């Protein structure tokens, strides 16, 4: 069984920081050509600006608001200009906002549905069309034509009213993953998701800085008694993108140290 993605071309959104950046870097380290996509142009320039300017580099940076359909079209064009094809899409761009479920003016649900669900759906639709066209042009009648990996959260299965918008958008993303997996299966494109809990990204490090109680709370509700490394989510994404997962589609793979196995009552919202 091979988990290799060497020689493949991947688009990774949300790649200027956090888990998206970890996945994009991990894919490059394992031989893939990767387009780092994010609306944070400054962050992209800081992380991969110099590397992306080298003509023979496996890295390209693309900045833009992927909620816009034109930006998605431009991202695909930039990817094809650089690498001629696209084999993998990782929808890692996510937003988290607090919610007040009792406020009739609360807008986080619609905001997060647009960012976390609709943007991923539009990207999946646009990139999968290209994957289908590539397979037809190559005359390939067997094997994988493409792989799509969505990043979700265990919040989709937990009840945290203060994270209403985020939880709803992640639950919707899980269902979109399953539905698109069935729709794209005849075209030999697999669609899966990685659902994770607390990951020691830069943002969580800042949140927990000096807050030993919150850190202890997370660990207490995680059977493996630690917080995940971003690289562990990246490894799961690589597996789902590789031929090693060639008979997996529509699956929500949970990377949470066992946290969702425990009673959700009084679980921390991290």
Residue 1 has pLDDT above 60, yes or no: no
Burial class (CB in 10 A: 0-12, 13-18, 19+), 42: exposed
* Mean local confidence (pLDDT), 71-78: 98
Residue 74 has pLDDT above 90, yes or no: yes
Residue 207: pLDDT band (50, 70, 90) is confident
Alpha carbons 35 and 62: distance in angstroms, whole number = 7
Q: How much of the chain is in helix, strand and coil states, percent to nearest 5? A: 50, 15, 35
Residue 171: pLDDT band (50, 70, 90) is very high
pLDDT per residue as tens digits for the range 93-129: 999 999 989 988 889 999 999 999 999 999 999 999 9
Which run of H or of E encompasses 21? helix 18-29
Residue-level length of the chain: 270
Please enumerate in sequence order all residues whose Cβ is within 8 A of that of 27, keeping only pairs 6 or more positions apart, or say none. 5, 10, 12, 34, 88, 90, 234, 237, 238, 241
Residue 7: pLDDT band (50, 70, 90) is very high
Which run of H or of E encompasses 37? strand 33-38
CB 165 within 8 A of CB 97: yes
**Nearest alpha-carbon partner for 253 in 118, 149, 121:** 149
**Nearest alpha-carbon partner for 228 in 121, 123, 154:** 154
Say which of 166, 181, 197, 236 is annotated catalytic.
166
3 Cα distance to chain centroid: 18
pLDDT per residue as tens digits for the range 236-268: 999 999 999 999 999 999 999 999 998 665 544
Active-site annotation holds for 162:
no
Question: What structural domains does the chain harbor?
Answer: 9-198+230-254 (3.40.50.720)
* Mean local confidence (pLDDT), 21-44: 98
Please give the order of strands across the beta sheet that includes 88-91.
59-63, 33-38, 9-13, 88-91, 146-153, 189-196, 252-255
């Amino acid at each position: 069984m091979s988990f290799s993605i060497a020689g493949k071309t991947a688009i990774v959104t949300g790649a200027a920081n956090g888990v998206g950046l970890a996945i994009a870097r991990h894919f490059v380290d394992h031989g893939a050509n990767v387009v780092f996509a994010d609306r944070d142009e400054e962050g992209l320039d800081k992380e991969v600006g110099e590397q992306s300017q080298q003509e023979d580099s496996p890295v390209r940076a693309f900045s833009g608001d992927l909620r816009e359909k034109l930006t998605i079209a431009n991202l695909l064009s930039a990817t094809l200009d650089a690498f001629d094809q696209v084999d993998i899409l990782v929808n890692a761009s996510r937003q988290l906002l607090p919610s007040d479920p009792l406020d009739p003016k609360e807008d986080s649900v619609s905001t997060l549905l647009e960012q976390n669900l609709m943007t991923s759906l539009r990207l999946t639709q646009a990139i999968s069309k290209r994957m289908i066209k590539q397979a037809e042009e190559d005359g390939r009648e067997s094997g994988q034509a493409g792989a799509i990996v969505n990043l979700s959260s265990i919040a989709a299965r937990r009840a945290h009213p203060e994270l209403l918008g985020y939880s709803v958008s992640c639950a919707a993303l899980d269902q979109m993953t399953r539905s698109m997996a069935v729709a794209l299966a005849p075209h030999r494109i697999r669609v899966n998701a990685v659902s994770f809990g607390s990951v020691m990204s830069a943002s969580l490090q800042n949140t927990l800085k000096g807050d030993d109680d919150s850190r202890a709370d997370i660990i207490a509700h995680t059977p493996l008694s630690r917080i995940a490394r971003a690289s562990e989510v990246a490894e799961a994404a690589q597996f789902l993108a590789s031929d090693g997962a060639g008979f997996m589609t529509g699956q929500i793979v949970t990377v949470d140290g066992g946290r969702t196995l425990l009673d959700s009552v009084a679980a921390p919202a991290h």
